[in-house]
Amino acid sequence: MPTAASAASPLVLDVGAFQAMIDVLAADGYTVLGPTVREGAVVPGPVASVDDLPRGCGDVQGPGTYRLRRRDDDAWFGYAADAVSWKSVLFPARELIWRGTATPDGFELAADRTDGGLGDPPYAILGIRACDLAAVAIHDRILRDRAYPDPRYADRRRDTFLITVTCSDPSGTCFCVSMGTGPRADGGFDLALTELVHPEHRFVAIAGTPRGGEVLARLAGGPPSPQDLAAADGVADSAAARMGRSMETDGIKDLLYDNPEHPRWDDVAGRCLSCGNCTLVCPTCFCTSVEEHTSLTGQDVERWRVWDSCFTSDFSYLHGGSVRGSARSRYRQWMTHKLASWQDQFGMSGCVGCGRCIAWCPVGIDITEEAAAIRSTSTTIAPGEPGEPSREA
Amino acid sequence: MAPDLDLDPGASLAGSPGPAADAMRPRPFRVVRVRRDTQDTVTMDLRSLDGAPLAFRPGQFTMLMAFGIGEVPISISGDPQHPELLTHTIRDVGGVTRALVGAQPGDVLGVRGPYGEGWLASAGADGEDSEDGEGGDVVIVAGGIGLAPLRPAVLQLLADRGRYRRVSILIGARTPSELLFTDELERWADGDVHVAVTVDRALSGWRGPVGLVTQLIPGAAFDPAGTTALVCGPEVMMRHVADALLARAVPARGIRLSLERNMRCGVGLCGHCQLREHLICIDGPVFGADRVLHLMRTREL
Amino acid sequence: MRTAGQLLAEHPFFEGMDDAALDLIEGCTRLEHYRPEQFLFREAEAADQFFLLRSGHVALECHAPGRPAYVLDSVAAGGVVGWSWLVPPYRWFCDGRATEEVSALVVDGRCLRAKCEENPALGYALLQRVAHVMYQRLQSARVRLQDLYGVPGGA
């Protein structure tokens, strides 16, 4: 008989209880997704058993570098950021908006639903990192909580059960501490787990919502000992002290607003391929396009919402040409949006410090290095004012 | 079996959306009348199939859809006092607009909207709502097809003429044959409004001014301090007009510019229409010069 | 009946000009009227005068065989037509034609050039004003050269 634990107080789950948690969620109707290893990377996948998790798997990430490594223990969550973020589940790359048919009276539309290909919602996401959880909160603000919500996102999001796992081993590209998003989440989850491997493999679990507590209440486990709690805190503290990178965020909005002609943009333009990888892997990028797919007769139309990237040459097309025709202007747009304009638009930074853009850039452009370079050679004089310094790096 | 779910305390109040809550679903509108304005521009009147009028504020736009081809943002160019007819002036610049310009009476188009902040009563850079021009002078400056989004403002001003002091409408076009709404200009002038027209060039026989629309500003009577200027046209033209009005000491926040950018959704979700921190579709398309003129001067922003 | 000097002083082109300078210019000035469609000057003619418009409207036209003449610029009341009197070879660049009744102060360019040779200060003051007019006309031409209302992105 499971020990009834108050929804508010932490619980220690052993390996068996962890499996039971997966089973409870599945029995409740969730499609349980979690980190899985596929083709040499940690990516979202279906999780039916703890054996599906990336046991003993760590990662090495750096500019333009991502590879998995074998850990010397059997931790299940010993990697840093998944190669593919949970954006791909909650905000699929391709989504049907409506189907339409031409009629004598014009056209008729019917709503339809597609999802990300990992099974039907509702989803239980097991193992989302604090940085990615912060990204979900950002998407909630952008896609759900403004004047015109995306109803498909709102639907999918409302029913999603979120289980976060504290980061124990940040990678060389991580800087969540600088962005104030990790390595441990302090809200926005149904359940938060911290993995402890020694002396026994166990998880300190706390509930963040009534429905999280309700699931915990059905699991076997006792309250954590003071040593358990101290060890859990230690995981977070140790991770916070081992960030691979940092970003000075003080005044970064004005820094980027005031430097649209900084020579560093020319420098990065010489490296940037405009491939758009950064926008694909970034968990907060949300730009989309709309496509009409027509049958050969033109009678049937599907309108699809698809991911788009500000790096594409016609993203800013405006009858005649693109406003941002050069790679220089497009990199400037992405970085200024992410770190600066996002704040004016949505009330927070667009960057959660996950470092994926650094790892997955084919030429290893590092957003923290670019920001630091602009900061170190910027002056306080805005362009166009008398006394503007000569343009030398 | 769907789980019994408690709402996350952070969840929005959006609830379960039905078709009405989906801003991406167009309403069908039938083309009632099409008038050819120039060789590449038409003005068409549309009526919704369900008969419901589309109430709008001058300066707003809709996402206009040619079924199976796509959607584009088009400013509403009709009379806000008569929203039972939805009027759009459309220029063929390829792709979707070509299909729209080719639409015939009886065809059904899709409409989403109206969207955007309009010409009168928009927030200034400090977040404060500007007065809607009431009691002061109004200077309207239109370049080319920019007259179309301004026409609803003109009609609203004429219908409420007593609320404003002196009203000037300054129009620039490429050549006399490319002027829009020429049949109405006389009526506007009759409404105690100063109307002046200039063209970039003309054939001999044209007796009016030839030159930039900014050259019409000295001939307009207005007290700069209390003036609201509504400006629409190509961006280069708007920069020069804004500079000319600033040189006359019209306050920057009183100079309203209607901007354009690539739009895919019109509702602030697709991210395409950004001008730095501004989303043209929901923060604009009308902005005070105090918020955007400096951004318009930065290349490729 | 006001003198040419008084009319000169009233014209915006000479705003801020001192009385001594206006006296000198008055000696080169007369008042003229033109009918609608009347040519004030034609292309390539000797440009020995310039016109300060008091009322009316003047179109600057360029003609070519096989097509109607283009109107390339126009000047309204308060404006000034002509600076070719200051720049060799002192020839009109295009035709100038009244599009309505025009009342203008016509200043003899040769007469004024001679006075400027003797009086550099007068010359400088005139040059400043003429430069401003040229500046505005050039910017106007440059903006219209961009064909902003033309086919977007087209030829």
pLDDT for residue B2: 33
Q: How many beta carbons lie within 10 A of that of residue A159, not counting itself?
A: 15
Q: How many CB pairs under 8 A join A and B?
A: 162
Q: Rounded mean pLDDT of A235-243?
A: 97
CB nearest C71 (choices: B144, B172, B201)? B201
The Cα–Cα gap between A218 and A29 comes to: 15
Return the pLDDT at B12. 33
Give the gap in angstroms from C-alpha C98 to the nearest C-alpha of chain B.
Answer: 9
Helix-strand-coil split of chain B, %, nearest 5: 25, 30, 45
The region, left, alpha or beta by phi > 0 then psi within -120 to 50, assigned to residue B4 is beta
Calculate the CA A221 to chain-centre distance.
31
Whole-angstrom distance, CA of residue B44 vs CA of residue B90: 8
Closest among A160, A49, A152 to B2, alpha carbons compared? A160
What is the Cα–Cα distance from A253 to A85, expressed in whole angstroms?
A: 26
Percentage of residues of chain B with pLDDT beyond 70: 89
Please, what sign has the CA dihedral across residues A384, B289, B197, B192?
Answer: negative
Domain ranges of chain C: 4-142
HSE-CB for A380 with a 13 A CA cutoff: 1
| Amino acid identity, position C129 | R
Half-sphere exposure of A183 (CA within 13 A, CB side): 29
With an 8 Å Cβ cutoff, is C43 touching chain B? no
> Within an 8 Å CB–CB cutoff, is residue A318 touching chain B?
yes
Angle at B225 between CA B222 and CA B229, to 5 degrees: 60
Residue numbers in A near C153 (CB within 8 A): 319-321
Chains in contact with chain B (at least 3 beta-carbon pairs closer than 8 A): A, C
Per-residue pLDDT, B149:
98
A69 strand-pairing partners:
A58
Cβ burial of A300 (10 Å; 0-12, 13-18, 19+) is middle
| pLDDT at B280 > cutoff 70 | yes
| pLDDT for the residue numbered B144 | 96
3-state secondary structure at position C145 = helix
| Separation in Å, CA of A177 to nearest CA in chain B | 23
Q: What is the pLDDT of residues B203-219, one digit of tens each?
A: 999 999 999 999 999 99
> Which residues, 6+ apart, have CB-to-CB distance to B34 below 8 Å?
B42, B43, B44, B45, B103, B104, B105
pTM: 0.90
Q: How many CB atoms lie within 10 A of CB A37?
A: 17
CA nearest neighbour of A86 among A122, A43, A49, A31: A43
Helix-then-strand count for chain A, H and E: 14, 15
Predicted confidence (pLDDT) at residue B15 exceeds the cutoff of 70: no
The CATH number of the domain covering residues in B138-296 = 3.40.50.80
- The closest of C11, C9, C5 to C103, measured between CA atoms, is C11
The predicted-structure confidence for A30-86, as pLDDT tens digits, reads as follows 999 999 999 999 999 999 999 999 999 999 999 999 999 999 999 999 999 999 999
- Measured CA to CA, the distance from residue A224 to residue A233 in angstroms comes to 12
Residue B128 has pLDDT above 80, yes or no: no
Single out the residue of A53, A44, A114 nearest to residue A85, CA to CA.
A44
Q: Where is pLDDT greater, at B242 or C66?
A: B242
Which amino acid, residue C21?
Answer: A
Q: Is the pLDDT of residue A190 over 60?
A: yes
Q: Which residues of A touch C (CB under 8 A)?
A: 319-321
In degrees and rounded to multiples of 5, residue A157 shows phi and psi of: -70, -40
Longest dimension (CA), chain A: 78
Residues of A in contact with C154 (CB under 8 A): 320
A287 interfacial to chain B (CB closer than 8 Å) = yes
Whole-number pLDDT of residue C44: 87
Angstrom distance (rounded) from CA A118 to CA A87: 13
Q: Which residue has the tokens 């308060």?
A: C78
| Angle between helices A130-139 and A151-158 in degrees, nearest 10 | 140
Q: ipTM for the complex? A: 0.91
Please report all neighbours of A, defined by 3+ CB atom pairs within 8 A.
B, C
Domain locations in chain B? 26-115, 138-296
Question: Is the Cβ–Cβ distance between A264 and A393 less than 8 Å?
Answer: yes
**Can you give the pLDDT at residue A385?**
45
Smallest Cα–Cα separation from B40: which of B167, B184, B178? B178
How many helices (H) and strands (E) would you count in chain B? Answer: 5, 15
Mean pLDDT (chain C) is: 92
| Of the candidates B180, B219, B238, B240, the residue with the CA atom closest to the CA atom of residue B38 | B180
pLDDT band at A117 (very low <50, low <70, confident <90, very high): confident
Fold of domain B26-115: Elongation Factor Tu (Ef-tu); domain 3 (2.40.30)
Amino acid A116: pLDDT? 67
Task: Give the per-residue pLDDT at A378.
Answer: 77
Q: In A, which residues are within 8 Å of C152 by CB distance?
A: 319-320
Tell me the average pLDDT of chain A: 93
Instruction: Give the pLDDT score at A105.
Output: 87
The pLDDT value recorded for residue A244 is 92
Element (H, E) at A191: strand A191-196
Residues 25-44 of A with CB under 8 A from B: 28-30
Chain B hits for A147, Cβ within 8 Å: 267-268, 282
Q: Please say if the pLDDT value at position A388 is more than 70.
A: no
C60 touches chain B (CB under 8 A): yes
Question: How many CB atoms are located within 10 Å of the residue C113 CB?
Answer: 16
Separation in Å, CA C150 to CA A310, B200, C18, C70? 28, 10, 45, 17
The more confident residue out of C17 and A380 is C17
C146–chain B Cβ distance below 8 A for any pair: yes
pLDDT at residue B4 is higher than 60: no
- Architecture label for domain C4-142: Sandwich (2.60)
Burial of A185 per CB tally in 10 Å (0-12, 13-18, 19+): buried
pLDDT score of A114: 79
